[in-house]
Amino acid sequence: MISVIFTLLIISLLIFASVINLHSVRAQEEFAETEFEEEGKPKLFDSNLRISTVVEGLNTPTTMAFVGPDDILVLEKDTGMVKRIVDGKVLPKPVLDISVANSVERCLCGIAVSKHGSTTYVFLYYTEIEGKDGDDKAGKQPIGNRVYRYELSGDSLINPLLLMDLPANPGPRHNGGDIIIGPDNNLYVTIGDVDGSFKGPTTETRTQNYKGGVDPDGRGGILRITQDGQPTDGILGDSIPLRIYYAYGIRNSFGMDFDPISGNLWDTENGPGNGDEINLVLPGFNSGWQQVQGLSSMEDSFSESDLQDFDGKGHYSDPELVWVNTAGPTAVKFLESNALGTIYENDMFVGDVHNGRIYHFDLTSDRKDLVLPQALSSRVIAKPSSPGVSSIVFGEGFGGITDLELGPDGNLYVVSIGLGSIFQLSHAP
């Protein structure tokens, strides 16, 4: 199966060769037997909606955040640049240019913005390295996966404050990197197992559900801190870093968002060629990795007794939806707006990087489950063309989606790493 890793790398090379004339991408992982194809022509299946291009020609964009109406900060995976887009024009000078490790999934990954009076804080997650961008490809080890808080001053990000220093090795895969501000005003950060497939006595941790694992080291979870970098009330324990875990047992996650109605957190998770997931993430959630990926019933010898529960403080639950043929789900966004029509208000949208699709989900009345068609009552999508899938596909052809964001105008914005573009989805006039 093709993984998110090689998809991003191959797409990056194709973009370098042909930035906006990318019409078809066909990538194949060295050990994969299936191919991934993108048409590169976005379309929506609701004729009442339209797609507008905000900007194109970006170099492997990962995530974006609004600092005001028609005012966007966007990250580039490999260049370490934070670029500012005002009224659809990219400013000639980046607001920040940092040195990043960028081999495979290492990158300038996540961004969140928070305003406090006249001060605008910008939070960034990136794999930091001493030297030049990509020096890790030549064997230099990165410093770490780090979360910084900056202040936006004019067209520059200043006063960096290190909030989190997380492992970046063995790497270079499964770095996660999504950042959001929760309804409690705390900072939530995803990090994968940082290539935990390379097992060893120092990398097998209890938060990865190893029975004899070492103490947690910050990997394999959703972490929560204040905007000043302080720990909040511990869910799993009081020691650091266990105290900052909101959820654990996560292999790799590129997206999460809070339901504006219930306040519950949801995330996506990428499996090892199968078992991609959408999860309801309640406090203390254990996603099951490395003991289970996908539905527990799909594992031959799974037992909940194999999982770490931290004296009953953690809890496992099955995902609400699983892709067997990997889709690489990334961004999650609740549309807290009626700009696209009341039928979509407060619904969940999910993007994927392999098919360039956007999925749309209604939630049940208790907001704890997805409303799925009868054909998907098993909660399993066997392949992209499986019965029932077309009813949840909102749009496609977006060329590898890495972010979905709600704009100040209430519209939905899409970041395509494959097309090097940002799109706006709005109601047709």
Tokens found for residue 6? 């090689």
Query: 224 or 41: whose pLDDT is higher?
Result: 224
Q: What is the pLDDT of residue 40?
A: 54
- Whether pLDDT at 62 is above 80: yes
User: Does residue 111 contact residue 85 with C-beta atoms inside 8 Å?
Assistant: no
Residues 301-320 pLDDT 10s: 889 999 999 999 999 999 99
**C-alpha dihedral, 254 to 260 to 265 to 267, nearest 10°:** -30
Q: What is the pLDDT of residue 32?
A: 25
Structurally, at CATH architecture level, domain 4-427 sits in 6 Propeller (2.120)
DSSP 205: B
Residues 371-425 pLDDT 10s: 999 999 999 999 999 999 999 999 999 999 999 999 999 999 999 999 999 999 9
- Residue extents of the structural domains in the chain: 4-427
Q: Can you tell me the mean pLDDT for 135-154?
A: 97
Q: Alpha-carbon torsion 235, 279, 107, 421, what sign? A: negative
Q: What is the pLDDT of residue 29?
A: 29
- Whether pLDDT at 10 is above 50: no
Q: What is the pLDDT of residue 129?
A: 98
Q: How far from chain centre, in Å, is Cα 17?
A: 26
- Whether pLDDT at 23 is above 90: no
Q: Given pLDDT bands bounded at 50, 70 and 90, which one contains residue 11?
A: very low
C-alpha–C-alpha distance, residues 375 and 381, integer Å: 9
CB-hemisphere CA count at 13 Å for 386? 21
- Residue 71: CB atoms within 10 Å: 13
Residues 39-49 pLDDT 10s: 458 999 999 99
Tokens found for residue 389? 């899938």
Tokens found for residue 111? 């961004």
Q: What is the pLDDT of residue 275?
A: 95
- Whether pLDDT at 34 is above 80: no
Amino acid in position 214 = V
- Residue 251: CB atoms within 10 Å: 25
Cα distance between the two ends of the chain: 41
Q: Can you tell me the mean pLDDT for 71-91?
A: 98
- Residue 161: CB atoms within 10 Å: 14
Tokens found for residue 368? 């704890």
- Whether pLDDT at 25 is above 50: no
Query: 66 or 300: whose pLDDT is higher?
Result: 66
Greatest alpha-carbon span in the chain: 60
Q: What is the pLDDT of residue 26?
A: 29
User: Does residue 266 contact residue 317 with C-beta atoms inside 8 Å?
Assistant: no
Query: 150 or 198: whose pLDDT is higher?
Result: 150
Residues 141-150 pLDDT 10s: 999 999 999 9
Q: What is the DSSP track for 230-260? A: -B-S-SS-SSTTGGGEEEE--S---EEEE-T
Q: What is the pLDDT of residue 15?
A: 40
Q: What is the pLDDT of residue 6?
A: 45
Q: Given pLDDT bands bounded at 50, 70 and 90, which one contains residue 130?
A: very high
Helix (H, G, I), strand (E, B) or coil at 413: strand
Residues 251-276 pLDDT 10s: 999 999 999 999 999 999 999 989 99
C-alpha–C-alpha distance, residues 248 and 171, integer Å: 18
Tokens found for residue 157? 């990000």
The pTM of the full predicted model, rounded to 2 decimals, is 0.91
